[in-house]
Amino acid sequence: MHKILFVCMGNICRSPSAQGVFEHLIKQKGLAEKFTIDSAGTHRYHVGSPPDERSILFAHKRGIDLSKQRARNISAQDFTYFDLIVAMDDENYRNLLTICGKNQQEKLLKMKQFLPQSQYTEIPDPYYGGQQGFDLVLDLLEDACLGLLDFVLQQQISKKLM
């Protein structure tokens, strides 16, 4: 079982979208039973709230349902439970570094690591922008999630060979 947590600031735009995109991807590939996927925020702004309605709308247009998700704050237990914790941007990555233990830092990744040949150095926050920002975020996440899935499956193969 692979356990992945996606993290952004408020857990209402990027990280729930990443969760939805990744869940959709692994379901399409018949791998859903091999993964536990969740999302969280580094700030408590929106705890208990559903994703931003624009995130829900634009994901729905792509056949991805975010409506059942609720924002939550990352917890100390997340660093123990999850195998990988994937930050949407550098600021949230730095926030995660300050709250996780030294022996858990190897679990932290940046989503931009999985963006193939992109001009973007992080997943931009669409919250204060126009609606086109939500489409862009989903485009980037679809590409990055494919790269992340390949990374996880390659790690699995490498561990079996050892």
Strand partners of residue 39? 6
Q: Is 125 a catalytic residue?
A: yes
Residue 10 CB burial class (10 angstroms; 0-12, 13-18, ≥19): buried
List 14, 52, 78, 145, catalytic entry: 14
What whole-number distance in Å separates Cα of residue 41 and Cα of residue 106?
A: 19
- How far is residue 110's CA from residue 157's CA, in Å, rounded to a whole number? 22
Catalytic annotation, pick one of 38, 78, 89, 125: 125
Residue 92 CB neighbours (<10 A) = 27
143 annotated active-site: no
Residues catalogued as catalytic: 8, 14, 125
